[in-house]
Structure 1
């Protein structure tokens, strides 16, 4: 099998297309059922969640209305006057009862509004309450109630002239609006039957139901009447705890499996919980599965024919290209290929033609660079060989000066001998940074003896660079150029500064002088001459030292290592270059 694939691109494409087309089509049949199930279930869940939000909006409106009403009642002047009076006032009692009756008349969800006086005056209420379960609820939850400015009770019962009613109430204390003295308490009760009507008329699934739970997950409304005020976990033992916000849970197994949707009312942390039997939205999946199986079968037949056609169509130009390239001679120019299309294969052939032309030009450029490198190395070698005879002669002069006790001549000759010894250096191209600096200092010392008092040189090199290798004979030509073309043409003494710093993976060197500087036109010409790459007419002769150093930097370190020259007439010149840190010389 492996050998069969390796011999032909057509074989590989055949196998890949079979895997890429046939297998996904076969897998579609199995996946489609899950997709259909998920889509139907998701639609039912979204519809159910929208219904819960609509119910929540109604309940939030009722809750907000009751809380706003409570603030309105507490701030009423007649209510405040009745509760804060030194004695019972029948007129105000009658006036306030009428006020509460009118306030609750148009709101069916309000069972009763009751105001209890802290002084023991008769309570104000819009309806007659024969018995109220509120006092028992407040005693059981006294700590929570006393610590709150408003509190919603659990579900409890009130016996009124209209019969027994299950209610949940908003209870809040009433204080004097001027001195905050406690005057009594207000309770506004919501009729559970009215809340249940909201739940039943919401348009929920006929075989499902919706429950309203309080913050302790006890049933406030919905479902069967026997469920009220019982924990939901008691009726549905294996239900998973519901988090804040909204969500979806699965409950039960087999025919009794249900999908549970819940939505939290932000204001009270009450939850609306809807139950949907799973079998409602799974009945449609059989039809979808049948349609999918037929579609997959037809697709398999079409895919088999298309695979054969596309393989032949795609591989035809590549086969012709292979026949053209198999007899190419590497030593000859790469032949071009005729492009007949503009698709990806055509772009590939076009790029191949451009690449062959680029390779040929790069070969010519490499040959030119190698020739220039050899020329520069020969020039450097000549500069090393010429002083060889002088080095031996100067060594003899050095000893003669010592014998004659002429110390200045001996030191000058010794520095010159060290300078020539480094220049020879057995033909090696690289040396440590410390040795290159010493070579430059020997040159400067000889020049300072020749031209006393004309210049001073200061050197600072980062100690971390001392043992790093670098191409030799780079700094001395730059210092020589500063002395000859900058400082010696100036009337007063000057300075030469040599700096070296380590920056990441590169070493930067700067040679700066306080000479006469370079005029702008001449500086542009020098930069143009240094930038000449050998193409076109050659540049006019510039300083041999600058040109030689620049070319050697480019040849050994690349285009980022050339010289950078900055100058200001009358103030001086600054020449710098940057080279990479090498573990070993290239």
Structure 2
């Protein structure tokens, strides 16, 4: 709270104000938090909490079935399995042994209890031999799989040695080659679904199970109930994606929340419902916790009222202490920021104004000194940079090139030599203008580097009129255009591209044309493409340099058509000096 406002009033008025404020805060705090906590419990346990649990379970089951589907695709597209099981020269045992070897190398996940392949001849091969295939392979199941063609079909739930498996079947058919081997049956370990349900719920008071459209239990916290039929018509409540109702189960009141199959599960032909049971007795426990919280809240609010009263007395001394701290901060910190005081018209306020005026003067003086020192450092840096001898860079590149030549690394030698020549022209020659032949040489060295970076991506042709080779132009005029053609015209194109650089004399002007057969662009995109891109100077910068040097009638003239290419004309005054 801003104590500056309260300093307009006498001490008695301040203390009275804070006490009243404390009582108001106390009352509204009780009302507000009681409502907030009540809504929180209702939202958490009656809707949001269970809905989030169901969403996590559905997502977990979807990811599980997606991985199983991917495993089936790997199996259906494995040509070795087709060749093996179609080989009439091998015995059944030999086929089964080799098939086991194939599947072992594929790294089948643990949540797939077994993989069974039934051939058109009636031969049955299973991977782990955990479950007797005769327990679930029936004519009805194979006929159902045949009717659904290439879609997955859910089979029965198989119980074996205390374990539960859900059968998932599909025609063993390679849609790439048209080979039809028979049937693929995959046994999903029900425990993997139970693990997903247990991981998703945040407390042990919620019991979650999974059932199908026929009220058959797919997964249950107690595995002995898996495969049983629920005779209560709970699915009649599943009218929305998520719904809940109160039901009496074994003489106990429960909140029963049901989620319909998600769209992702529907796409996988998985019509499973998620059901959670929450005992209402737990909600009563939560209300008890709310009452305890309210009691503590009242206690702490009373303490807050006392603190507020103390705060009222402190408001007299805090402004003086604040001013004293600001005075002490002078010289201890690099920058003292100004503080804006309201017009209170008391003695402390007058002191504050005088202090702030002094602080501003000191800050301005410090800022001026820092600015001068920064300028001095910049000048020292410029002086230091000017002492760097560019010959050191050229000699270093030449040394690297010789080492590459000795080591018989022609690609490294070529790119280093091209880079050395590039810098020798662009940096070592400090004059503002260079001959067109030198600019073309700079472009060739740049292109040599780019061709090593992007082999077989583009070619470049030069059609330089002999009478233009000694003409003087601004340095780095043609190279940025060639760079732009490569990056924005040729590289996005799948096919190999071509860049053509031409020069000619037109009246008293020198024309240089850079064209490519790249992807081009719409005229409406010209402003964006003209700005400084990810490399080079950018078309806009080159155009501005030319206009400043030669006049507004000179510069770059761009024409482009999408998917056909771009042509950029450089128009400058023809000059030999």
TM-score category of the 2 structures, normalised to the smaller one: 0.3 to 0.5
Q: Normalized against structure 1, the TM-score is what?
A: 0.39
Q: Normalized against structure 2, the TM-score is what?
A: 0.40
Q: Specify the structure having the higher radius of gyration (Cα).
A: 1
